[in-house]
Amino acid sequence: MVKMVLLKLAQMKNKKWYSRLLKRVNLSTTYEIFNLFKTSKFVVLKQEEFKNHFYREIAFILGPYVLCFAKNKTMKNELVLNWTSKNPQIPFGKIFKNKNTERKLIEKTINSRKYIVSGEINATIEEKFRGLEILKVSAFCGNVMNSKEDINISKKFISKNKSDLYLFPESYPFSRIVFNSKGFPEGTIFGRYGNHGPETYFMKKNPVQISKSTAFADEKKIMKKGRFPKIIDHKGIKVAVIICYDLLNPRISHYLANKDIDIVFIPSMIPSNDVEKWKKFLYVRGQEIQCPLILASNKDKRNICIPKILYYDPIEEKVNEYNKPQVFEIPFGKLKIKESPRVHWSWLLKNKVFGPFSKDFD
């Protein structure tokens, strides 16, 4: 239901989800949001008690994304005092329901309203609404041919699935072929196998090379310790690309969590017997960074790695697994409220899921 609503909203660029609220002051924000966004949550950010009134700041969030931020000044009376003494951590909309009140609009903008409530409850309420943007992402997985057929397949995938961003697995499609970025649009993440191992690029006007941040095995000879991922601004969207085993490094997720990233891509080649382990790492990193994460992996010629798309959804807070290429319509907001993650790297240790990089964490 939520996804269907969001897809319709994406098609109606000039109509925001909160347009009904701005047209009718008597409509409840609480019920409008909870009806549209079934997994949304209500949080109290601040509450103070004064002699004659309560003041509080609240937010409705979808995953980490803010849908509405509000300030309320509610005058004290018996009804209000009875409510605050029992359970103040619920929306005013549920308190107002079936109460004898009237609303009067004081001020309105294109995305906010301020009104007075009078009657059994007397309050002044300011609400500021936030829209959700829809990001279309195409992620590829398949078999590595190590031939020009890889290039033909990847270009056909791009032409068939017009998107904002495209993700290909590590070293693909130029695995063992001469590198030529012509025909790959801006926003494409792709790679090749260079003289010193896998190379990953983000396509802008010219390819921008993305370096690994975590050393593994002989890679220590060609990179410096302590690197952090490059953050790319793509049409106003903050994109981070981390490569394969970087997902296992908690330093990386800590760094990205403090950068307000919009989305993280992980071009990879993951072993077929390690999928469950990688899903757990993706879940923990998603919890820590609190944004969408998409991983793409191919099947290699040696039949060690597996074609797989893994997607961490920060709204549902779960990892979705796919065996075929996928096109995602991803809702996201530019304003986030980060919560303490349910799990983090220590959860991995408790569940005996280890990465090979303990020396990198010194």
197 DSSP β-pair partners: 194
Please list the helix, strand and coil fractions of the chain in percent, rounded to the nearest 5, in that order: 25, 35, 40
Q: Strand runs (DSSP E) across the chain, as ranges?
A: 41-49, 53-62, 65-75, 101-108, 112-119, 123-129, 133-139, 165-167, 173-174, 188-194, 197-203, 207-210, 231-234, 237-241, 263-268, 293-297, 308-313, 318-322, 326-332
- For residue 206, give both structure tokens: 């010219």
More confident site: 162 or 344: 162
Specify the pTM. Answer: 0.88
Query: At residue 37, does pLDDT exceed 80?
Result: yes
Which tens digits make up the pLDDT trace of 242-292? 998 888 888 888 899 999 899 999 999 999 999 999 999 999 999 999 999
Integer Cα distance of 43 and 273 in angstroms:
41
Query: At residue 241, does pLDDT exceed 70?
Result: yes
Tell me the average pLDDT across 167-174. 96
Which tens digits make up the pLDDT trace of 97-156? 778 899 999 999 999 999 999 999 999 999 999 999 999 999 999 999 999 999 999 999
Tell me the average pLDDT across 297-320. 95
265 DSSP β-pair partners: 241, 294
Q: In CATH terms, is domain 133-361 a member of 3.60.110.10?
A: yes
Dihedral Cα 343, 344, 345, 348, nearest 10 deg: 10
Residue extents of the structural domains in the chain: 2-129, 133-361
Q: pLDDT over 90 for what percent of the chain?
A: 66
Query: At residue 8, does pLDDT exceed 60?
Result: no
Cis peptide, bond prior to residue 173, ω within 30 of zero: yes
Model pLDDT, residue 87 = 75
84 DSSP β-pair partners: none
Tell me the average pLDDT across 294-323. 95
> What CATH number belongs to 2-129?
3.40.1410.10
14-18, 39-43, 155-159, 227-231 — most confident range: 155-159
Query: At residue 358, does pLDDT exceed 80?
Result: no
